[in-house]
Amino acid sequence: MKLKEHWETLTWTWNPKSLRESSDSVVRNLLLHWFPAKISRPSLSFRYSFWLGTISAALFFVLCGTGLILMFLYVPSVERAYPSVKDIEFVASYGGFIRAVHRMAAHLMVVAVFLHMMRAFLTGAYKNGAGANQNRPVNWILGVILLLLTLLLSFTGYLLPWDQLAYWAITVGTNIASAVPLVGDKIRFFLLGGNDIDQNTLLRFYVLHCFVLPTAVLLLFSWHMWRVRKDGGLACVDRLVRDEKTKTSAPIKTKTYSLLGITSGRTVQVETSYIDQDEHLVESSPNLTRRLLLVILATLLVTFLLGFLVHAPLEQAANPLVTPNPAKAPWYFLWLQELVADTTVHLGSYTVSGAFVGGVLVPGLLVLLLAAWPYLDPSSVSATGVRFARERQRQNMVFLAIVLVVVLLTVVGTFMRGPSWHLYWPWQSWPETPTRF
Amino acid sequence: MKSTKLPSAPSAEQKNLDSVEAPGRRSFLRNLGLGTLLAGLAGQLFAMVRALVPNVLYEAPRTFKVGLPDAFAQGITYLEDHRLFIGRDQRGLYAISAVCTHLGCTVKMLNLNQPRTVEIGGKPTQIAQEFQCPCHGSKYYGDGTNYAGPAPRPLDWYRLEVSPDDGQLVVNSSQPVRHDFRLNA
């Protein structure tokens, strides 16, 4: 009996017995304090947000956990990196599983964050609604930076096994940096810590991967969540407010003690009270927490299952002298590699390298466009939090067209490029090519 | 009930003192302090970033020996360890880098079944080899001139010298040279 009481003093916030305990739990539990005491029903809907942000965050914490264990087993030195990854894979207990989960979670996080961005765009969630002090465009930009950080985290992790796959993907990736006009070579030198991909590069990528970038993600993620609260929750809440306003309701019975009470025409009301009614609101604990835990559980389940089924590959040790044929970047950068391979332009005697067009210009412009989009969007408040709003139809078409091109190029780069970057159908076999002379 | 003492608002007299007598000195000291703090932080930041730029590189030397000139027969020899081609024709020896000018992969040499004549820089030239890049499909003629794929410029040619001490060929990969460079040895 005593044990049960102790257990309940520890866990009552997660399982409140009364409305009072429910609101108390949000105040008194560190993990719950960033939620509002009550939350509107539409924001809990699976069909509005698909909970993609929660899934991304859950994957991030899976990556932190598995990554922590891998850090104890991995040695970031050119001589020992590859053997230590081999030990993780074949010697350490469950090492192969942990590495597979880490890799799978990384891939899934790229997908989840990208889909999260698509969801936010298609529902006009970067738009301000009627609430005071909203600044959703800032949160959208934070999201774009978080997407870039996710890609960078994945890219820096790619080099660490120090196998052929890693070495040549990073060769191609970092040479793109040197295509930046004027300072390109300097940037590459600073990034690599020298002229060649060597010990300095490995250590730099390791520190970026294990400390700098995850810390940046944590900070920006906190900011992202804080802004969601400051912006009055998800954008669908603003739609609810708007829908409520158009309903004609009986004037609220209030006593007024000023001259306003006898003026005719308008009733004095506070706008936010429109959704402060119990039909729209539920207690965060346990309604939000229950769904949250469910989504986290599902994410873990899928990630672990895929980790069981798909093993992380490990190729031959990195060899700067032998370029594998074909040499491919990580899949989420293959659309860029496709651009890099296709966009060298010859204008008379003047040549614009595809590395600049596909590696710097196009992705740079796309990121700028993404960040600036909320400020270019002329649609009205009524398109906030509405999926495929008519008013934003053309914008959504343009956005989806860009996404489609990126996905198509990724598919071509992943499944249809063989030796010497020639095009092959996925079912065609590749010719035998010598890897050495 | 205990009363908590709030800091009282500055009296009119104090305000006068602040605004009449001290503003110059006060704001100067404040700006000096803030400025020193910012300058110190900027200096620290510079030191931290500068420490990340290596002063000594433990990389392979850019100038290296590759053996006696007689060891290189007519045609093109690939030196895997240096990612380098050494060629010999009637006019002498030359060195071509095997690093693709697009994104730095190692190009592969293909010996053509029959030499063919192509136009390079307006002049018909006979070539017996081609170079192909495995990463993005750039193609070069045997002299390093790019003719297909995304490569923006020809492969680099490096200066060759004969070492005065033991007569070995010395490649200087920090000195690109023109495509008519030949070393008679």
Contact A324 B106 (CB under 8 A): no
Question: What confidence score (pLDDT) does residue A360 get?
Answer: 87
What distance separates the 2 farthest-apart alpha carbons in chain A?
96
Is A344 near chain B, with CB under 8 Å? yes
- Token look-up 């096994």 returns A161
Query: Over 90: is that where the pLDDT of B123 sits?
Result: no
Q: What is the mean pLDDT of residues B33-42?
A: 95
For residue A191, which phi and psi values (nearest 5 degrees)? -65, -45
Please give the structure tokens belonging to residue A78. Answer: 């050119």
Per-residue pLDDT reduced to its tens digit, A27-59: 999 989 989 989 989 899 999 999 999 999 999
- Token look-up 């870039």 returns A148
**Contact at 8 Å (CB) between B64 and B57?**
no
In a domain, A13, yes or no: no
- Token look-up 């991967």 returns A209
- What does pLDDT average to over chain A? 88
Query: What gap in Å lies between CA B94 and CA B89, rounded to an integer?
Result: 9
**Contact at 8 Å (CB) between A16 and A29?**
no
Residues 6+ apart with CB under 8 A from A251: A267
Is B79 near chain A, with CB under 8 Å? no
In a domain, A369, yes or no: yes
Query: What gap in Å lies between CA A209 and CA A215, rounded to an integer?
Result: 10
> Hey, which residues 115-174 in chain B have their CB within 8 Å of chain A?
132-137, 149-153
Query: Over 70: is that where the pLDDT of A293 sits?
Result: yes
- Chain B positions in Cβ-Cβ contact with residue A437 (cut-off 8 Å): 78, 80, 108-109
Query: What gap in Å lies between CA A248 and CA A182, rounded to an integer?
Result: 63
In a domain, A188, yes or no: yes
Residues 6+ apart with CB under 8 A from A21: A12, A13
Contact A340 B133 (CB under 8 A): no
Q: Where are the alpha helices (DSSP H) in A91-135?
A: 95-122
Evaluate the CA torsion angle B82, B84, B89, B93 in order and state its sign.
negative
Query: What gap in Å lies between CA A414 and CA A169, rounded to an integer?
Result: 13
Tell me the whole-structure pTM to 2 decimals.
Answer: 0.85
Query: What gap in Å lies between CA B173 and CA B20, rounded to an integer?
Result: 71
- Chain A positions in Cβ-Cβ contact with residue B136 (cut-off 8 Å): 337, 340-341, 354, 421
Closest-CA residue to A225 (of A71, A104, A53): A53
Is B52 near chain A, with CB under 8 Å? yes
Residues 6+ apart with CB under 8 A from A213: A149, A152, A153, A156
Query: Over 50: is that where the pLDDT of A272 sits?
Result: no
In a domain, A253, yes or no: no
Per-residue pLDDT reduced to its tens digit, B142-156: 888 888 888 888 999
Question: What confidence score (pLDDT) does residue A257 get?
Answer: 59
CA distance A250 to chain B (A): 46
- Chain B positions in Cβ-Cβ contact with residue A321 (cut-off 8 Å): 80-81, 83, 106
Q: What is the mean pLDDT of residues A16-22?
A: 90
% residues pLDDT > 90 (chain A): 56
**How many degrees, rounded to 5, is the angle at CA A114 between CA A342 and CA A163?**
60
Per-residue pLDDT reduced to its tens digit, A115-173: 999 999 999 999 998 788 899 999 999 999 999 999 999 999 999 999 998 998 888 88
Evaluate the CA torsion angle A221, A187, A333, A355 in order and state its sign.
positive
Task: Pick B137 or A256 by higher pLDDT.
Answer: B137
Query: What gap in Å lies between CA A53 and CA A51, rounded to an integer?
Result: 6
pLDDT confidence bin for A368, thresholds 50/70/90: very high
Query: What gap in Å lies between CA A111 and CA A117, rounded to an integer?
Result: 10
Is A352 near chain B, with CB under 8 Å? yes
- Chain A positions in Cβ-Cβ contact with residue B108 (cut-off 8 Å): 323, 325, 434, 437
CA distance A433 to chain B (A): 10
Query: Over 70: is that where the pLDDT of A274 sits?
Result: no
In a domain, A303, yes or no: yes
Question: What confidence score (pLDDT) does residue B6 get?
Answer: 60
Is A14 near chain B, with CB under 8 Å? no
- Token look-up 């402060």 returns A276
Please give the structure tokens belonging to residue A284. Answer: 């965060």
Per-residue pLDDT reduced to its tens digit, A72-85: 999 999 999 999 99
Of A194, A199, A420, the CB nearest to B137: A420
Per-residue pLDDT reduced to its tens digit, A213-265: 999 999 999 999 999 999 988 998 888 888 877 775 555 555 555 555 555 54
Per-residue pLDDT reduced to its tens digit, A164-199: 989 988 888 888 878 788 888 888 999 999 988 999
Question: What confidence score (pLDDT) does residue A176 get?
Answer: 80
Residues 6+ apart with CB under 8 A from A142: A220, A223, A224, A227
Q: Interface pTM (ipTM) of the complex?
A: 0.72
Residue in chain A closest to B152 (alpha carbons) equals A353
pLDDT confidence bin for A437, thresholds 50/70/90: very low
Question: What confidence score (pLDDT) does residue B101 get?
Answer: 87
In a domain, A362, yes or no: yes
CA A345 to chain centre: 33
Is B75 near chain A, with CB under 8 Å? no
In a domain, A16, yes or no: no
Question: What confidence score (pLDDT) does residue A436 get?
Answer: 46
Size of interface A-B (CB pairs under 8 A): 100
- Chain B positions in Cβ-Cβ contact with residue A343 (cut-off 8 Å): 150
Question: What confidence score (pLDDT) does residue A178 get?
Answer: 80
Question: What confidence score (pLDDT) does residue B75 get?
Answer: 85
Closest-CA residue to A144 (of A220, A80, A203, A57): A220
Residue in chain A closest to B121 (alpha carbons) equals A349
**Collapsing DSSP states into helix, strand and coil, what is residue A255?**
coil
Question: What confidence score (pLDDT) does residue B5 get?
Answer: 58
Query: What gap in Å lies between CA A96 and CA A313, rounded to an integer?
Result: 10
Is B61 near chain A, with CB under 8 Å? no
The answer, yes or no, to whether the previous bond of A286 is cis (omega within 30 of 0) is yes
Is B65 near chain A, with CB under 8 Å? no
Of A175, A200, A325, the CB nearest to B134: A325
**How many degrees, rounded to 5, is the angle at CA B38 between CA B33 and CA B39?**
95
Instruction: State the total domains in chain A.
Output: 1
Contact A353 B132 (CB under 8 A): no
In a domain, A87, yes or no: yes
Question: What confidence score (pLDDT) does residue A271 get?
Answer: 45
CA distance A142 to chain B (A): 24
Domain of A384? 40-239+282-421
Contact A322 B109 (CB under 8 A): no
CA distance B97 to chain A (A): 12
CA distance B13 to chain A (A): 39
Question: What confidence score (pLDDT) does residue B1 get?
Answer: 44
> In this structure, what CATH number is given to the domain that contains residue A383?
1.20.810.10
Contact A327 B151 (CB under 8 A): no
- Phi-psi sector, B120: left (phi>0), alpha (psi -120 to 50), beta: beta
Contact A337 B109 (CB under 8 A): no
For residue A182, which phi and psi values (nearest 5 degrees)? 65, -60
> Hey, which residues 1-40 in chain B have their CB within 8 Å of chain A?
none
- Chain A positions in Cβ-Cβ contact with residue B133 (cut-off 8 Å): 420-421
Q: Please give, one letter per residue, the 3-state secondary structure of chain B.
A: CCCCCCCCCCCHHHHHHHHHCCHHHHHHHHHHHHHHHHHHHHHHHHHHHHHCCCCCCCCCCCEEEEECHHHCCCEEEEEHHHCEEEEEECCEEEEEECECCCCCCECEEEEEEEEEEEEECCEEEEEEEEEECCCCCCEEECCCCEEECCCCCCCCEEEEEECCCCCCEEEEEEEEECCCCCECC
H or E element: which one contains A398? helix A393-415
